[in-house]
Amino acid sequence: MAPRRRPLKKGESRMNAALDAMTPLGFDKKLVHQTVNKLLKVYDSSEGWGFIEDGAYHLLIDQLLEAQQQTQQQDHHFHIDQLLEAQQQDQLMICGYLTGGIVVRPDP
């Protein structure tokens, strides 16, 4: 006889389904889990899953993309701040701009 799986906690299978649907799209499991929990707080835990699962997780995907965009913008600003700080310390000379980025070279 095959061993039995442990019984799932209530609601656990829905979270697993959301994770299974989002990870092939390239979203980090931790980010998906945090975003689902945030949406459940906004939309009331008992009724929230209906909104999250509606339209093949359309709301969840929108929130995940927004979170990724905010993270990328923060990272971009952080790197620019680092470059400007290094320039102020005379470690780098900013010699031009490239589409979407800064071209730098070490100060001779």
Q: Is the pLDDT of residue 9 over 60?
A: yes
pLDDT at residue 104 in the model? 57
CB environment 64-78: b (16+ within 10 A), e (fewer): beebeeeeeeeeeee
Over the stretch 49-107, which tens digit does the pLDDT of each residue have? 888 888 889 999 999 999 988 888 877 777 777 777 766 666 555 555 555 555 555 55
More confident call, 7 vs 59? 59
Domain ranges of the chain: 12-106
Other Cβ atoms closer than 10 A to 60: 22
pLDDT at residue 25 in the model? 92
CB of 52 within 8 A of CB of 40? yes
pTM of the predicted protein model? 0.59
